[in-house]
Chains A and B, each alone.
Chain A
Amino acid sequence: KAGVTQTPRYLIKTRGQQVTLSCSPISGHRSVSWYQQTPGQGLQFLFEYFSETQRNKGNFPGRFSGRQFSNSRSEMNVSTLELGDSALYLCASSPETGTGGLAKNIQYFGAGTRLSVL
């Protein structure tokens, strides 16, 4: 099976612009989560989508949003970019079920999108 694919790999934007990142999960995975990773804060949860619905949300401002399509592909959008939004944005997908019931909580990550805001 192909892994999680994120596009683009690198992005450079300026303050005030908006950006859209894309994620294709592993085939058959319906849960897609987004994380932000920075040197100071580590990996922080943004939101999770399941069957086109946002199921959970982390503690990020409303400038961060996302959506999921019927084929489970997901996008996240950041509007009015700030310098502090520079980070590696990671997408992860999870299987719905698995051995012992806990395999569904294993996250399979993409390589990420490196966003630089100037």
Chain B
Amino acid sequence: SQKIEQNSEALNIQEGKTATLTCNYTNYSPAYLQWYRQDPGRGPVFLLLIRENEKEKRKERLKVTFDTTLKQSLFHITASQPADSATYLCALPDQTGANNLFFGTGTRLTVIP
């Protein structure tokens, strides 16, 4: 069965630095991968989608890479700010082809002022 691992449960970084979060997956070759942000007490919010034929995707201070050989995605936040503190989730499409997503357990990022 498909499996997603996000490298660390929690990550603390200093304001202004670049945060790098890792998402590894096994037993699957997804057509795309998504990243979501979740704040306490709220539902996840979609950030970025990257297709299997795209190496990199950017949106403002966010950058996502997708290495289908390594079966890994990296999520970067440059010039991080305290407001970036949240849990970040990577998600893959269900390998059965269904419309639902299969989520990692998330990495809780804290940006220290």
- Of B41, B42, B94, B104, the residue contacting A42 (CB under 8 A) is B104
Closest CB-CB distance, B98 to chain A, in whole Å?
Answer: 4
Does A48 count as interface, using CB distance less than 8 angstroms? yes
Closest CB-CB distance, A30 to chain B, in whole Å?
Answer: 11
Q: Which residues of A contact B42 (CB under 8 A)?
A: 111-112
On B, residues with C-beta under 8 Å from A are 31-32, 34, 36, 41-46, 49, 51, 89, 91, 93-94, 96, 98-106
B43 lies within 8 A of A33 (CB): no
Q: A45 vs B103: C-alpha distance in the bound complex, in angstroms?
A: 9
Q: A90 vs B104: C-alpha distance in the bound complex, in angstroms?
A: 15
- Of A44, A104, A108, the residue contacting B99 (CB under 8 A) is A104
Does A4 count as interface, using CB distance less than 8 angstroms? yes
B51 lies within 8 A of A102 (CB): yes
Does A105 count as interface, using CB distance less than 8 angstroms? yes
A4 lies within 8 A of B43 (CB): yes
Q: Which residues of A contact B45 (CB under 8 A)?
A: 109
Closest CB-CB distance, B76 to chain A, in whole Å?
Answer: 21
Q: Which residues of B contact A45 (CB under 8 A)?
A: 94, 100-102
User: In this complex, which of B43, B51, B96, B102 has the most chain A Cβ atoms within 10 angstroms of its Cβ?
Assistant: B43
